[in-house]
Structures are given as C-alpha cells and as structure tokens.
C-alpha cells in the first residue's frame, strides 16, 4: 500500500507544527509521509526542540518552511493547528481533506506550556491514528 501524506500547518512553522511533524513521524511514520509548513517562517523554536527531546523525539534537523504548494496539492490530509492558519490556508484541490486541530501557541509562554502543548499534540495524533 502506498503511503499517504499528512501536512501539518500553523502560522510560523516554529512550535506546534514542528512538534506535530516530529510526533507524526514517530506515530504515523509507517503509513504516512509527514510534513509541516507555515503561512510564514519564524525558525524552529529552541524550546520546541527541547520539549520534544525531553520525550525522546529529535526534531533538531527539521526546518521552518513556508507552505509548499507541491506537498499541499498532493497531500491526503492537511491539518491546521491554529485558527490563523485555518483562516489563511491556501485553496486546495478537492481530493485534499482538511481538518482543524486547534492548539494554544506556547511561544513566549512558560516551559510548562511547551510540555502541555507537546503532550496534547501527541494525544491528538494518537487519536487520529486509531480513527484510521
């Protein structure tokens, strides 16, 4: 069976979508190609890298990228992770399914917020896997 593609999108491709890409590769990697992108690029937040490292997931080689039209248009599922990305997500072909999974932005917040959002994203991806 050919791998499907999931594309996680948020505003800056800095925190939430980076963590989602990391968890997605760990949890869905056998069955899905996993990517992330942003409406803008803000660089990968060092606290997102550290939060994922804390649970044994290395996202230090991931990059903060603008939405790639090729990935977007070939994706099976696009998941927006914040309301800004949901509202500003580019138009997609009819075959691309879109879902919105809203998470708080941990950027600029206390360390515990990075941990909480990291764990919420993991739970959402695990729940998604069990829906398949």
Catalytic residue among 6, 10, 67, 85: 10
Catalytic residue among 27, 77, 89, 96: 89
Exposed, middle or buried: residue 86 (CB in 10 Å: 0-12, 13-18, 19+)? middle
Contact 34, 25 (CB under 8 A): yes
Of 4, 1, 22, the C-alpha closest to 13 is 22
Catalytic residue among 78, 82, 85, 117: 82
Residue 82 annotated to the active site: yes
Residue 10 annotated to the active site: yes
Q: Which helix (H) or strand (E) holds 6?
A: strand 4-10
Contact 98, 117 (CB under 8 A): no
Residue 15 annotated to the active site: no
Distance from C-alpha of 124 to C-alpha of 41, rounded to nearest angstrom: 24
User: Catalytic positions, please?
Assistant: 10, 82, 89
């Amino acid at each position: 069976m050919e791998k499907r593609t999931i594309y996680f999108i948020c505003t800056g491709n800095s925190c939430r979508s980076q963590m989602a890409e990391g968890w997605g590769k760990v949890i869905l990697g056998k069955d899905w190609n996993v990517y992330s992108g942003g409406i803008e690029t803000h660089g990968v937040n060092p606290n997102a890298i550290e939060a994922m490292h804390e649970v044994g997931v290395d996202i230090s080689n991931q990059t903060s990228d603008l939405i790639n039209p090729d990935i977007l248009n070939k994706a099976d599922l696009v998941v927006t992770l914040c309301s800004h990305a949901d509202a500003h997500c580019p138009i997609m072909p009819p075959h691309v399914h879109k879902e919105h999974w809203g998470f708080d932005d941990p950027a600029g917040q206390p360390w515990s917020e990075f941990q909480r959002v990291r764990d919420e994203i993991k739970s959402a991806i695990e729940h998604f896997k069990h829906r398949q």
